Amino acid sequence: MLSLTRKTDYALVALAMLGQRRALGLGPVSARVVAEQYNLPQPLLMNVLKELGQARIVTSTRGATGGYELAHDPAQVSVLDVITAIEGPVRLAQCCDGLPVMGQGCAVEAASCPAKGAVKHLHRRLVGLLESVSLQDLLAESEESETGGCQCCPALTIAESISRLK
Amino acid sequence: MLSLTRKTDYALVALAMLGQRRALGLGPVSARVVAEQYNLPQPLLMNVLKELGQARIVTSTRGATGGYELAHDPAQVSVLDVITAIEGPVRLAQCCDGLPVMGQGCAVEAASCPAKGAVKHLHRRLVGLLESVSLQDLLAESEESETGGCQCCPALTIAESISRLK
DNA sequence: TTGAATCGGTACTGAAGTGGTACTATTATA
DNA sequence: TATAATAGTACCACTTCAGTACCGATTCAA
């Protein structure tokens, strides 16, 4: 399925909260608080934050007043980084994607695959798209929709919505 | 996972072959021939072609000399059409995607979701990307890589590869 | 020093989706 | 009438996902 897993959803939600806290100059926040804030299953969220920590996207401090906080400026972390940390490298197709795993699990010989070129291009454009959106954009879009200025743009054309994020 | 299923891979491969045959003015081709050509599991490919037929992307003719052929001009069929036919509608996230199913399966209240705006934008851009690539592009890219003119562009930057497809 | 709160690691389980197969019915041609 | 093809349905093995559980390590505060 061409979709993110729920764990990635939770990661983006948690990172958005960490970004807001960073902007306010607040310290680390525990997984429990984040889970309660957004009604997420706490053990699962702890696993997600753990993986984000291993990917150096967040830093963790143990102990009674410990928790998680963003490791970098939100503008320096892309959505692709988050997805890669949680789900592993993005691979649009099993084969023909220009990655080291190329050909694995695909019955079509790479040399004779008639869809190879286009799939590779699609993959690159998808990766480019995910790289171009940062946590900073995530926070900005969130505020925009909260203030009613956007309301998720039901009337915007795709081209307009693309240009807004660029 | 942010990837296409193998069935979609097979669909793209089969559609590329049907597109080539259409360009040559040839008639319908059976699932067996396509499966043998690219070493695909025949029963599964038949299921895939069946689904493409239900989505009116290919037309099928039964009988001894029957088979499948493209229902429309390759330029009029987008990769998004193919993905939707095989995998159902693209939903980047469980929630916050602006679709009728919004909110289903997501624990975060839509109104309080801090990632809502950005996820919706990403979803729209992803859909736009998939809509912008047609079967015609698929065929063109395939020829390009076969003649060695592209070789899947290992040296191209992402921006360059995007501009090539536009 | 003790306890509470937190993260870190591993392992496990039920559910769902994916990949693939099998069988029968239907249609069309020779 | 035999053959070759699609159409439909059902089924199963396997993998991944979503979520839970447990235990240990760390830090802080009383």
B61 touches strand D (CB under 7 A): yes
- List of chain A residues whose C-beta atoms are within 8 Å of the C-beta of residue B137: 118
The answer to whether the beta carbons of residues A142 and B115 sit under 8 Å apart is: yes
- DSSP notation for chain B: -BS--HHHHHHHHHHHHHHHHHHTT---B-HHHHHHHHT--HHHHHHHHHHHHHTTSEEEE-STT-EEEESS-GGG-BHHHHHHHHH-S--SSSSSSSSTTTTTT--S-GGG-TTHHHHHHHHHHHHHHHHH-BHHHHHHHHHHHHTTS-TT-TT--HHHHHHHH-
Q: What are residue A68's DSSP bridge partners?
A: A29, A60
- Short-list B62, B75, B90, B81, CA closest to B12: B81
- d(CA A47, CA A81) in angstroms, rounded, equals 17
Indicate yes or no: CB of A38 within 8 angstroms of CB of B112: yes
List the pLDDT tens digit at each of the 166 positions of chain B.
789 999 999 999 999 999 999 999 999 999 999 999 988 999 999 999 999 999 999 999 999 999 999 999 999 999 999 999 999 988 887 654 444 333 344 556 666 778 877 888 888 899 999 999 999 988 887 665 543 322 322 222 323 333 333 2
pTM beyond cutoff 0.75: yes
Termini Cα distance of chain A: 27
**Closest nucleotide over all strands to B44 (CA to C1'):** C20
Could you read off the pLDDT of A50-76 as tens digits, one per residue? 999 999 999 999 999 999 999 999 999
- Short-list B57, B68, B67, CA closest to B138: B57
**Closest nucleotide over all strands to B34 (CA to C1'):** D5
